[in-house]
A and B are shown apart, each in its own frame.
Chain A
């Protein structure tokens, strides 16, 4: 009987503790949601009201003169559909090609035995300490001198200069030192006995990479995909420098369209809501995979 009472008391205590934990978690979730709520709510308000509501709870509530005018204003000011399409093309290409190129490089460094691979890995890691801003201007010069094929007058011709193109936004960012390092680390955890068995069965290195290493490295691929997706989607400085044609600009450069002498804050919020939505959808759709991949690969974002 006494044991029964003690057990019931412990159950109540456990329940109370859980309620408190959930309250704290809900509080934290609300805290982290504030910026998003502010953004979406402000996208429905006129500029003056956004600024007047700052500093109070009204900033987070859809009160006052609520409308979709800011969204209409965004379409008047910015070719938002075109910018979104460009960002999707650039991001998908960088992430997709990056997974292939970097995993192959990581595999070569981790599994193949060749002279100088340690030095190569060191050089790859050393690239991580060079800030992009320091090499941006020289890179502009280089890409402006690179040869390219041009299709015009019904035939293939060549020219020099990659400015104003998709490839200039994609190719420099496919190979990524951190991704190579991460793949190399992950592949090194796969037992080498599997490679040896495959070699005995007649498999070449590419077959081992494709049929064995890749299927066993799902978490590493997911992690690299996440870590390269966001910087690719958020590219700003590089496209500002190398893309002059409005039809090729990505979404983040479009953000600057709203910062005139008088900033159209309502339209800024509407635009950011529109360009954040795809990222949120991707995150929500793959939330479980993201969390498990980060946990499995031991990388924090």
Chain B
């Protein structure tokens, strides 16, 4: 019995070995069939966005016979892990989208090649939808997002608070007076800053305030140190205000994340993005105000740079990938993205055709805010570390940590990372 089992195992093993030795290597490698261009998106679970991609790909594939786009969709939350893993395995797709601030890191790591799209096309896009690293364009996007302050006209009128405009935004003193008045007149927490959120939201949302106050995440001239930018007098002044906003109970971090507290009229002012505008419009109607950000001293600022497209360094069909991208930047597609996703189109002509963002569209104000106040996050490969360090420092300060020493510690962490990476090539 025992010998019989053993002989069966040996025979099976020999057969497998012979089969393996005799068979040929599969012809199809990871790059796919000739002319096939692999494309990864972060859009799984987003039917509106995927429908537009499906249309573009169908149109492109039908427009020529040299290349064929093959799409794979990943959920946003695990997308960067998938890219990192694919890069480690040398299996990156030809076309990949990426969040704007991450692009320099991927370009520095050798994942990307220069985009190589015509200057006329690049120059027609909103500046914050073009990803530049060391004066080379590596990515470009169909849209941008923008932040603003949502309010109800009736609430501001009732409390005799001036409605700010793009040309005359609130000064910090005016803003402080407004939230003090709102708090005194029935709003236990008048302002939702979105502090219950986590991750990159913190640098996206609050570093523009810091920049408006005169500070920054890093010295952009050299990109070699955050000293003086993140812990200088302007930064200390801003973060002292930021801390007081929580100690004064103007804002809190109790959540929920999103804009529900504004819709329920539990807060009077909500610092949030264009992605929440459609629901707010439906709930509040004509009473909704989309206000410019506060001027902390050096002019209002909002974060710029959303999802953008690039071409991987090892793409065997880079010309085809470029042809696809060029094809895809048609106004009709940009408008379709804008209206299905409620995001700001990257060309003026696409915005003019948009239901929401044309001159008469209900959300036109976001296009204006993006054009006037958007500032891209620092284009350095060190941004992921800068962002997580900034988040930790800002949260510590919100929770009562001493401002200057917390910022000094953050600067030290950022500078140590930059030095350990030989200044990231700067």
Contact = CB atoms under 8 A, between A and B. Distances in A.
Contact of A157 (B25, B40, B73, B74): B25
Contacts of B287: none
Contact of A141 (B24, B73, B89): B89
B404 to A, nearest CB: 34
A187 to B, nearest CB: 21
B81 A241 contact: yes
B263 A161 contact: no
A65 interface: no
Interface size class of B (residues with CB under 8 A): 35 or more
Contacts, number: 111
Contact of A260 (B45, B72, B86): B45
A259 interface: yes
Given A51-B260, A257-B44, A262-B279, A137 B84 contact: yes
Given A244-B72, A260-B46, A157 B24 contact: yes
Q: Which of B20, B46, B89 has the most CB of A within 10 A?
A: B89
B45 A258 contact: yes
Contact of B86 (A152, A244, A261): A244
A279 interface: no
A141 to B, nearest CB: 5
Nearest to B84: A137
Interface in B1-39: 2, 19-20, 23-30
Contacts of A138: 88
A144 interface: yes
Contact of B89 (A144, A204, A245): A144
A47 to B, nearest CB: 8
Given A149-B23, A204-B2, A240 B81 contact: yes
Contacts of B256: 51, 54
Given A48-B263, A256-B78, A246 B73 contact: yes
Interface size class of A (residues with CB under 8 A): 35 or more
Contact of A240 (B19, B78, B260, B279): B78
Nearest to B306: A261
Nearest to A259: B77
Contacts of A261: 145, 273, 275
Contacts of B29: 159
B72 A140 contact: no
B167 interface: no
B23 A157 contact: yes
B45 A256 contact: yes
A244 B82 contact: yes
A156 interface: yes
A245 B72 contact: yes
B258 interface: yes
B260 A52 contact: yes
Given A144-B90, A161-B91, A259-B77, 17 more contacts: A51-B260, A77-B45, A78-B45, A140-B85, A152-B26, A152-B28, A158-B25, A159-B28, A163-B91, A240-B85, A241-B82, A241-B85, A244-B86, A253-B75, A256-B45, A257-B75, A260-B46
Interface of A: 48, 51-52, 54, 76-78, 136-138, 140-141, 143-144, 147, 149-150, 152, 155-159, 161, 163, 204, 206-207, 236-237, 240-242, 244-246, 253-263
Interface of B: 2, 19-20, 23-30, 40, 44-47, 72-78, 81-82, 84-86, 88-91, 145, 256-258, 260, 263-264, 273, 275-276, 279
17 contacts: A51-B260, A140-B88, A144-B90, A155-B24, A156-B23, A161-B30, A163-B91, A206-B2, A240-B82, A246-B73, A256-B77, A257-B45, A259-B76, A260-B45, A260-B46, A262-B276, A262-B279
